[in-house]
């Protein structure tokens, strides 16, 4: 409630147009909904941060996911992430018209229609990084932003990346997913004058430490246009890139 | 044995009311019981630390858990934690009237009846933190303290927490369970003038490092009323909160 | 502002006893004070969390500390922590009647007068842990709680601790500071039926990892009444113990 | 060199308007300049990534910094970071009209004049985080973007932050600097629908691990609009925010 | 394209022997091949780094591995690593004449025929290190270099190693695989005047930290002829040793 | 070969009692035996370090274990560790009279008969530590040393340990196994004037970090008679204690 | 107090030979001495663990060290460790006849006279490890055990160690100090049939991580007769070796 | 001593041409020299590993360095590393004709004259990495190998590196020094078909963790021709590259 609404409400109270009870309710108003004792849905999140609440399915039961998804899908676009195929059934059935993608492990329905400034590139170093990239791409699609996929262009063969410079140039932001040493983010960062979102993946072994190595690589990037999200966090990378792509 | 008992005993020895053998036994007395070569039950723990020995089932066989539980349940309230459903059968059968809860993975029976000063709030950031919270809640119940559940109120939608301030205000201590970044503990700590017990959970992925990230968050809290227990240690959080809630 | 105050205020607006501007101010009211562009003092912290804002001097200039201390001392008891002797001068001069203690590196003035249930024990394993203990003890004193000092009673000579059981027994909570392996917290935890606040210190070398070793020890304590604060955080340990010691 | 330029050049070669030597030079052309054997200045960086090369002074001698700064200042705006006061003299003298700021430890001259969409908020949790914030703010200023400073609004007193929501609302991106537990980034992330750049600082002690704790906090943020830069990397945070603020 | 080729091409353009389109194609030429949207094969890698692209099967589906292997086998020797037996079928069938080795988990076909200076020793500390050694040995064989196997010669019985000095002496480089404490690399390093490639393995438990312990051991070797590759990276060790063994 | 044997051999060469070939063989003699290309048995280990080679079964195939065990059992006492029940069959059949113990996961046969100075205590903090203790106990038995089992005597109930002081007093060394916080080693270290071997176990969760927490605890012990072996290394603890127990 | 003393005392109480007060005093008797509020000297430590309390000077003031040293020197042999030269003056003056050694940074006086079984070898890998070795050697000397110094025999030149086998053979235990990769402990462990005490040092840089690398090396030693003490803990290594060397 | 020498010696013993004492001396012969009790010089290291012992000055006193340097310089080329300027005096004076270089902190004299196959490239990402590169370059020079310096060519401006491909092409191995994220090693690895020695440096801050970040980057390199040495270990990188460059 901003100051203008507050002044309006108080003016209506003073003029008798609004009762005290009504005003108390409005001032205390709860923009959330309790669900079965296990969830408190944040129903104002779209207004506040520009996207409805997204369901992180990992650690929830299939029944919990389905109940939350059904509720959220009544209010706008739906995105469920980290949803394993064997757990996806109830939610798919609960939300008519939803689409499950086994590569990105997402369930989604609908898309937002805010004006955007351009597409977002989603690059990765190797074939094994594709599932994480697809989570980012689906997120962008739900936000109404076009993802431009540039896959398997790791630094051991840089010419593959350089051949796609045209695609990089037409995007307003670039997501770079990489496991192992994660050097691709710095190289892309040195090539473009746009925000680069480093997306470390857990692809690798031994001293990759489950993705900590590419995470550190990206955090220490000598290219200063690189910021970083959590390991394998395709959704977060897609979401921030989607925000950057928005008009106004 | 405190000084007074010691003086009494020695006085009785001097007066011949107690024999040397009896006094030696009392002075050497073993407040524990050996069980099948694999356990040494601490039978005086209630006197010393205010709660009977609690059975940590992880790493014990089903038969060991059942034998220990049967012994302990003969002396007072029983609490077994970390008891997977497939291992719970023998212990349930060994202790008549016990109750197994699959969410918190606890087996319990009875409750303590010491006077308490008020209830304890058990908050969590997300739905996936509920099992850990329930371990804390069951522990409080066994200690005779009322748990007030405030679930799924993470900092990405703070108004959900603020709407429950009344509940926070009537409690004598607050447990805050959170995985991922664990910021909820600091936010709650800034809102209440009571001890807050930070309970980091292993919910998360990548750089959450199995719960080390929220553990570090809570240890570094800028709210000075936050102390911390081990990752996923719902029992420990509940136990300390229960001690704080006690009269005298 | 609780619901009752809100209803009162709105009733006064309706009756014309309060103007809209006045109500807007009250509802938006800023319980803080900006200070020279570098600090935003939280002037309602006592109401909210039961203790005025405490100044963490590390990383602040001597002039900043002095300005903040002067402001806060006008409103109630003052506590400045981590204040090196060479930086203490301006703040001492700025606050008449303040007391600087070089062992705990604290500057303090006044004390709170809330009713308390009993004293708090402050134990440490070795002589080198005393500065951290004194930070806790001074904090307790400012909160109006008596600290009971039990120093140099490490587990390599347990009888030294056992000889002080009477002192432990008359306290409502126990702070245990220890560096090196930090085992003292578990041992004390096994002896008393009260909250034990583990306070790991950076005393040690090599594999103590600057205090991480005793921190881990205390977090993994097999005594479930142990909670833990940050390494060398004497203030935090004292503050929580002080809250536990309070009546009601 | 894009395809069109390439075709033009080759056409001119075919028509004899350009010689082979000239074409070789153009195709091999080196957009950099060697400097005294110790530096290879990237003279095309503005064209490529939208900002001239910035000098990271740490680890360079005062003479090296001065020589590089003099060269770069001949081509456009200058920014030198991590320049300690005692090492700043030669560079200040080498670049007429430059300005040294001891809080942010930056030397700068001039600013870029690209069109921007709005200001950028620079928040911090505590007074000790200000130097890092100022590095970000100076970077924004050199990029021609207005920084909006919101200092000392940590989560232990959230109302201080909420009082500045108007300022947050008029910005196109938000930088959040925080040490200790770094929870402020998540809280701000939950309040605004814009990209939030988490800037962990090394303010803290013990388990803050030199800034690793707030770094992990921000990487695991439950608010998905948070991306993260390296510890104390005010320049990187400012640079990315500046890119986001740009038109087109 | 080196300068000479460039001058030739431009000369031919000038003389009309080559058209602009042809030159553009040559200058832009893409030495890679897209494969089904999931892979971008680096077809010039042999020219550039002396070995065709090697397929890292971990994280790829069996179908992806088969498709890539078929493509690469059309151009020269084939090596697929980290190929579990249950996933190897499709690739074996896709590449006629290929050989699958379950110990090293490699699929290979053909070998390179560059001149080499001598064999390479492949040593290991214990029997459990053999699979990693075999990955290195197969890599050497595909590169046309003879591997000399020296297995189970750990430092707890040094005479076993000393008895094989003759074998060490006739090799041009030595690979030393070891898990647990990894001391063998230093000992071999002290015995031979040749490059030693330390190959830490994940053999061990507890404080071996999944191979980090031998990795650190080898990085800190007091024998300065030791360089190190990633944990269990038999392919990398074999590849570098193979490069060292090459003539010219 | 010591100097005396060398002089004897050379004297016999000089006197013609030994031929040059015989001397070369003796001087070059290989005290090991190759086994199927995968193992190099150290047949002189008993002479050198006082115990035959012990087989670490983890990472070896059942067939490899059986082949090595058969060979070693021909020469003296046999001990195989880390042998899972499902892999033990071939080795049991290969060595007549061997005994497999599923708790310690050891296969053993025979025992050494060197004179010893006294028994060794094997203590543990909790029931879950027993398997590791039994590995130590079986090792002691194979070395001909009596193990004195003192189980489940953790520091949360110290009187259980104190009641066994008589047993501690009659031993020449003490092994202390503990997971979680591992404090028991320091407490035992403070009670006895004998070498204490700290044996950290992986029992615990969360911040126990797979046993790193008790490992660090024991390494930082304030009791200086504590040395430490690897996590869960019951064999190593038993072996060193057995060496200490030996006469002369 | 053992059972026999207890029976004697109680018998004397019964016979009136001892009063109740006397018995209470004996049974409660405090084998320690408080010193100036900062230390609680453990005066029975020699009886209990075979060596008087040793003063760890790090973190204590020069005055505290001197006061404690004076007290302890009245009762038996004195050893102060980690005593920097600039802080040693007061303690030297406080204890007549004490000897300060700047290499090991120890202050000592007198030596114990218990019967010992033989000398202890103190080896190190490099010249920089000598200070830590000397701390061990001085400790042995105070315990009445002869240290045999074998310095600068690292694994990069193993023949230097092998040349000292005679010295190793006449010792009852071996201390091996090494920084960098710490491989020497395993090599020595493979050569001798005696307890080897691994003493990792902080000599090294980069990935030696302040001594963690050799610590891990030694903990993972494939030679099972190696146990480990804390980084740079020469005193601990010497103390345990001294205990092993004792008769009976 | 190889078999032929052994047979010769024994033949001479048999024929009376050599006495037993002489043979014992030869067979026991000590290829090292003790120096003042603090060093055991490995005088056969050139024969064994192809380079005389190199002095690591860190942790040694100026007098120790001078004594060792004087001894070694009598036998061949001299190299002292990590020699701070203030400690270099005595060694410079002790070795006539030696040269001290303050950038690389080396003292050297003479060079080896073995035949080499070509020069070695020494690249670095930034100006601050130059001291480490120079340590490698001086090492190469002492080994008689030409270093080709390619400095300040980090991945944020890749064209700077590509412009030096001719230099890379004429070298037989490439050293790549980089701090921060260390991506340069992978990029160079993808460009050349030669061994690349990754040399991580401690240049950076925050999440570079003192060089651990570039170390991990290089260990996880997707370019398989990269091996790695310790952080800042310019000497090791130069030494291995020098060995690779040697003929035969």
Give H224-234 pLDDT, tens digit per residue: 999 999 999 99
Interface with B, mutate which of D127, D216, D227 (most B CBs under 10 A):
D216
Neighbours of E28 (CB within 10 A): 11
Cβ density class G115-138: b for 16+ within 10 Å, e for less: ebbbbbbbbbbbbbbbbbbbbbbb
CB contact under 8 Å between G205 and H40, yes or no, is no
Residue B25's pLDDT band (cuts 50, 70, 90)? low
Residue A238's pLDDT band (cuts 50, 70, 90)? very high
Provide the pairing of β-strand B39-42 with B32-35. Answer: antiparallel
Cβ density class F214-235: b for 16+ within 10 Å, e for less: bbbbbbbbbbbbbbbbbbbbbb
Q: Please state the rounded mean pLDDT for residues H100-114.
A: 94
Long-range contacts at E101-106 (CB < 8 A, ≥ 24 apart) = E101/E134, E101/E138, E103/E130, E103/E131, E103/E134, E104/E131, E104/E134, E104/E135, E104/E137, E104/E138, E104/E234, E105/E81, E105/E131, E105/E135, E106/E79, E106/E80, E106/E81, E106/E134, E106/E135, E106/E138, E106/E139
Residue D29's pLDDT band (cuts 50, 70, 90)? very low
Interface with B, mutate which of G14, G22, G25 (most B CBs under 10 A):
G14
CB contact under 8 Å between F214 and C220, yes or no, is yes
pLDDT tens-digit map of G184-236: 999 999 989 999 999 999 999 999 999 999 999 999 999 999 999 999 999 99
CB contact under 8 Å between B49 and C228, yes or no, is no
Domain ranges of chain D: 32-109, 120-245
Residue F173's pLDDT band (cuts 50, 70, 90)? very high
Using a CB-CB cut-off of 8 Å, the residues of chain A touching E30 are: 159-160, 163
For the segment(s) B120-245, the CATH number from 3.40.50.1970, 3.30.420.40, 3.65.10.10, 3.90.470.20 is 3.40.50.1970
Structure tokens at H30: 């000590």
Residues E190, E168: contact at Cβ < 8 Å? Answer: no
E-state strands within chain F:
32-35, 39-42, 55-56, 78-81, 99-101, 106-109, 120-124, 147-150, 173-178, 196-200, 226-228
Residue of E31, E56, E211 with shortest CB distance to A159: E31
The helix/strand/coil state of G113 is: coil
Using a CB-CB cut-off of 8 Å, the residues of chain G touching H42 are: 156-157, 159-160
For residue D190, the chain A residue with the least C-alpha distance is A49
Residue F6's pLDDT band (cuts 50, 70, 90)? low
Residue H178's pLDDT band (cuts 50, 70, 90)? very high
Residue of H126, H127, H159 with shortest CB distance to D32: H159
pLDDT of residue E88: 96
CB contact under 8 Å between G24 and B11, yes or no, is no
Residue G95's pLDDT band (cuts 50, 70, 90)? very high
Rounded to whole angstroms, how far apart are CA atoms H169 and H151? Answer: 16
Give the DSSP H or E segment for D27.
Answer: helix D20-28
Rounded to whole angstroms, how far apart are CA atoms G41 and G52? Answer: 10
Residues C94, C70: contact at Cβ < 8 Å? Answer: yes
Residues ≥6 apart with Cβ < 8 Å to C120:
C140, C145, C146, C147, C148, C171, C172, C173, C174, C175, C238, C241, C242, C244, C245
pLDDT tens-digit map of A98-135: 999 999 999 999 999 889 999 999 999 999 999 999 99
Rounded to whole angstroms, how far apart are CA atoms E38 and G184? Answer: 49
Structure tokens at G34: 């408080």
Q: How far is H140 from chain A (nearest CA, A)?
A: 27
CB contact under 8 Å between A45 and B152, yes or no, is no
Which residues, given as ranges, of chain E have pLDDT below 70?
1-6, 24-32, 43-44, 47-49, 248
Residues F71, F109: contact at Cβ < 8 Å? Answer: no
CB contact under 8 Å between G181 and E207, yes or no, is no
Q: Does the structure show a pLDDT above 60 at H54?
A: yes
Residues ≥6 apart with Cβ < 8 Å to C70:
C91, C94, C95
Using a CB-CB cut-off of 8 Å, the residues of chain D touching A49 are: 189-193, 223, 225
The pTM score is 0.90
For residue F192, the chain C residue with the least C-alpha distance is C156
Beta bridge pairs of residue H226:
H196
Residues G45, G71: contact at Cβ < 8 Å? Answer: no
Q: Which of B189, B163, B194 is nearest to B176 (CA)?
A: B189
Provide the pairing of β-strand C99-101 with C106-109. Answer: antiparallel
Q: How far is F10 from chain H (nearest CA, A)?
A: 7
For residue A1, the chain C residue with the least C-alpha distance is C28
Rounded to whole angstroms, how far apart are CA atoms H191 and E39? Answer: 20
Q: Which of A180, A126, A88 is nearest to H219 (CA)?
A: A180
DSSP string covering A27-95, please?
A: HH---EEEETTTEEEETTHHHHHSS---EE-TTS-HHHHHHHHHHHHTTS-EEEES--HHHHHHHHHHS
Chain C residues within 8 Å of chain G (Cβ atoms):
126-128, 130, 149, 151-153, 156-157, 159-160, 163, 203, 205-208
CB-count burial class (<10 Å; 0-12, 13-18, 19+) for H76: middle
Residues G221, G189: contact at Cβ < 8 Å? Answer: yes
Residues ≥6 apart with Cβ < 8 Å to E142:
E77, E79, E108, E110, E111, E112
Residues H95, H70: contact at Cβ < 8 Å? Answer: yes
Rounded to whole angstroms, how far apart are CA atoms A97 and E187? Answer: 66
Q: Does the structure show a pLDDT above 80 at H201?
A: yes
Rounded to whole angstroms, how far apart are CA atoms B173 and B150? Answer: 13
CB contact under 8 Å between G24 and B14, yes or no, is no
Q: How far is C20 from chain A (nearest CA, A)?
A: 7
Q: Does the structure show a pLDDT above 90 at D201?
A: yes
CB-count burial class (<10 Å; 0-12, 13-18, 19+) for D209: buried
Using a CB-CB cut-off of 8 Å, the residues of chain B touching F127 are: 38-39, 59-60, 64, 68
Q: Which of A147, A135, A145, A78 is nearest to A101 (CA)?
A: A135
Q: Which of G7, G39, G41 is nearest to G26 (CA)?
A: G7
Q: How far is F66 from chain B (nearest CA, A)?
A: 29
Q: Please state the rounded mean pLDDT for residues A30-58.
A: 77
Residue of C30, C39, C215 with shortest CB distance to D127: C39
For residue F163, the chain B residue with the least C-alpha distance is B30
- Where on the phi/psi map is residue E158: left (φ > 0), alpha (ψ -120 to 50), or beta? alpha
Using a CB-CB cut-off of 8 Å, the residues of chain C touching G28 are: 163
Rounded to whole angstroms, how far apart are CA atoms E192 and E188? Answer: 6
Q: Please tell me whether the interface predicted TM-score (ipTM) of this complex is above 0.90.
A: no
pLDDT of residue F24: 65
pLDDT of residue G96: 96
Which residues, given as ranges, of chain C have pLDDT below 50?
1-2, 29-30
Interface with E, mutate which of F28, F32, F37, F40 (most E CBs under 10 A):
F40
Dihedral angle sign, alpha carbons of residues B84, B90, B93, B97:
negative
For residue F173, the chain G residue with the least C-alpha distance is G244
CB contact under 8 Å between A183 and H212, yes or no, is no
* Least confident residue range of A142-151, B176-185, D24-33: D24-33
Question: Percent of chain F having pLDDT more than 90?
Answer: 69
pLDDT of residue B16: 82
Residues A97, A108: contact at Cβ < 8 Å? Answer: no
Rounded to whole angstroms, how far apart are CA atoms G235 and G202? Answer: 15
Rounded to whole angstroms, how far apart are CA atoms C138 and A26? Answer: 46
* Least confident residue range of F84-88, G147-151, G155-159: G155-159
Interhelix angle F130-142/F234-245, nearest 10 degrees: 40
- What's the residue count for chain E? 248
Q: How far is C13 from chain A (nearest CA, A)?
A: 6
pLDDT of residue E29: 47
Q: Does the structure show a pLDDT above 70 at B24?
A: no
For residue H217, the chain A residue with the least C-alpha distance is A181
For residue E10, the chain D residue with the least C-alpha distance is D20
Rounded to whole angstroms, how far apart are CA atoms A66 and A175? Answer: 30
Give the DSSP H or E segment for B214.
Answer: helix B212-219
More confident residue, G16 or F138: F138
Which chains does B contact via 3+ CB–CB distances below 8 A? A, C, D, F, G
Using a CB-CB cut-off of 8 Å, the residues of chain B touching F207 are: 211-212, 215, 230-231
CB contact under 8 Å between C45 and D126, yes or no, is no
Count CB pairs under 8 A between chains D and H.
65
pLDDT tens-digit map of B31-89: 677 787 788 877 667 766 677 889 999 999 999 999 999 999 998 899 999 999 999 99
Q: How far is A227 from chain D (nearest CA, A)?
A: 5
The helix/strand/coil state of H116 is: strand
């Amino acid at each position: 409630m901003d100051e203008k609404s507050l002044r309006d409400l108080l003016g209506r109270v003073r003029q008798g147009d609004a009762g005290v009870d009504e005003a108390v309710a409005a001032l205390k108003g709860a923009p959330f909904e309790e669900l079965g004792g296990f969830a408190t849905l944040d129903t104002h999140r779209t207004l506040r941060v520009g996207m409805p609440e997204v369901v992180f399915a990992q650690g929830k039961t299939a029944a919990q996911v389905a109940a939350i998804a059904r509720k959220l899908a009544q209010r706008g676009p739906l995105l469920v992430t980290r949803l394993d195929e064997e757990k996806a059934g109830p939610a798919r059935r609960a939300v008519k018209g939803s689409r499950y993608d086994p590569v990105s492990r997402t369930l989604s329905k609908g898309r937002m229609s805010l004006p955007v400034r351009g597409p977002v590139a989603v690059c990765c170093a190797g074939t094994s990084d594709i599932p994480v990239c697809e989570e980012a791409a689906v997120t962008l699609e739900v936000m109404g932003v076009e993802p431009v996929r540039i896959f398997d262009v790791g630094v051991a063969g840089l010419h593959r990346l350089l051949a796609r410079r045209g695609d990089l140039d037409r995007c307003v932001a670039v997501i770079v997913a990489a496991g192992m040493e994660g050097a691709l983010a710095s190289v892309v960062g040195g090539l473009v004058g746009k925000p680069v979102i480093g997306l470390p993946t857990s692809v690798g072994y031994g001293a990759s430490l489950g993705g900590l190595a590419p995470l550190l690589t990206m955090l220490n990037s000598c290219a200063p246009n690189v910021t970083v999200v959590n390991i394998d966090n395709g959704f977060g990378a897609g979401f921030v890139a989607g925000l950057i792509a928005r008009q106004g």
